[in-house]
Amino acid sequence: MAATNSDGVLNSDSDNDSHISDDISLEDVTECDQPTQDEFGSDRDPHQQSDGIDDNEGNSNRNPMKKLVVKAVLDALRIKHKSGVSVSTFEDVLEYGKTLLFTSLGADVDGDILSTLWPKSWNDVQLLSKEEGYEDAKQYFICFCREEKEFTRDGKTTKKFVYDGKYSVMENKHDRCSHCGNKGYIKYMYLGLENKVKNWFRNKTMCTKMLAHWYEKEHWLENMEGWPLKKEIWDGNRWSELQWFWNPESVWALPTRCLHCDIPISADHLINSQDRDAKGVFQIVECPVCFENFEHCIKMAKGSPLNLALIGHFDGWQPFGTSYRGSGSFEVTIGNMKK
């Protein structure tokens, strides 16, 4: 699940969310400096929030000629993708498309401005695509720390690499693992969600679709049994169990990570930790894994209809020509939209 508030990400170790507002009030935990109100305002109606977004807000102030150029270039990119032509051939197609477009223009269109906006090379097309929200996948290098051990079975001794539970993710192929000192031997292409989510919120139509669960909130809000007629994901029992994530009246404490070993620590563990002062602003937290102590100020999150439910699906496959390496893709879709 993705929270609209940057601090509102919940990582619970169990489905028994005992740290949610049903069992904890704001008086139980004094927060550091941060109010529980989300960044959109807790008293605003989500319908009003969506009305504050103009149709195609990201495009509302755009030069109409720029919009025309973008559409034509995107069409040309689709042709390139389907035909598999080279970059050189694509640039020829781009020039030919420009000629066709200019011959069809009316007298009221300024050809000089349009010619300035039209990309002249593959690099110009890439820059234009990035302006429209396109993002290249970034390559990382992963090291799973391992050590060689001998195993004897039926009188036969073999050597195998054994994973020791530690790993590092490096941005450059020459970087060294912070644990074992080796270079990353697994190449990993990663396309993050940050720009993807920003693109989702670029126009009113998409925002309205992502509020579909709230338009049918009577199906799940304050209803723990689910909706009798199952048509959408929020008609099921599981969505009703997690309704606090979208309910503006729900408040809960956020988990954290150990400052020493970086493992997640549940909100329940934080709340039950020893207070450092009488006001209970800071807790003395003992990590349940490494048993080191550190100070922590508990932060609170609040439900919002604008929070997103993300559905992940992983597909793995074995590349041709090798039986030692595998590939996979992780697909993320929005659960708040009608199917």
Q: Which residues of the chain have pLDDT under 50?
A: 4-31, 35-60
- Residue 3's pLDDT is 55
pLDDT over 90 for what percent of the chain? 35
What's the rounded Cα separation, in Å, for the pair 163 and 142?
13
- Residue 21's pLDDT is 42
Q: The pTM is what?
A: 0.59
> Beta-carbon neighbour count of residue 275 at 10 Å?
12
What's the rounded Cα separation, in Å, for the pair 248 and 244?
8
What's the rounded Cα separation, in Å, for the pair 238 and 234?
8
> Beta-carbon neighbour count of residue 5 at 10 Å?
19
Letter string b/e over residues 210-249, b meaning 16 or more CB atoms within 10 A of that residue's CB = bbbbbebbebbbeeeebbeeeebbbbeeebbebbbbbbbe
Burial of 304 (0-12, 13-18, 19+ CB in 10 A): buried
| Sequence-distant contacts of 289-295: CB under 8 A, at least 24 apart | 289/258, 289/261, 289/263, 290/258, 290/260, 290/261, 290/263, 292/258, 292/259, 292/260, 292/261, 294/258, 294/259, 294/260
The three-class DSSP label of residue 91 is helix
- Residue 62's pLDDT is 63
| 196-207 tens-digit pLDDT | 888 888 878 999
Q: Which DSSP string corresponds to 248-261? A: TT-EEE--EE-TTT
Residue 19, token pair as written in the block:
């740290």
Residue 130's Cβ-side half-sphere holds a number of Cα atoms within 13 Å equal to: 9
The answer to whether the CB of 8 falls within 8 A of the CB of 243 is: no
14 phi/psi in degrees, rounded to 5: -150, 170
Residue 236, token pair as written in the block:
């099921």
Residue 294, token pair as written in the block:
């550190």
What is the 8-class DSSP label of residue 202? Answer: S
Residues whose CB is less than 8 angstroms from the CB of residue 333 and which lie 6 or more positions away in sequence, other chains included? 310, 311, 313
Spatial CA neighbour of 242 closest among 328, 310, 174: 310
Spatial CA neighbour of 24 closest among 293, 308, 280: 280
**Angle between helix 122-131 and 87-103 (nearest 10):** 70
- Residue 171's pLDDT is 92
Question: Which ranges constitute the DSSP H helices of the chain?
Answer: 46-51, 64-83, 87-103, 111-117, 122-131, 194-200, 204-209, 212-215, 237-241, 267-271
For the CA atoms of 124, 130, 133, 136, the dihedral, rounded to the nearest 10 degrees, stands at 130
- Residue 44's pLDDT is 46
The answer to whether the CB of 93 falls within 8 A of the CB of 80 is: yes
- Residue 6's pLDDT is 35
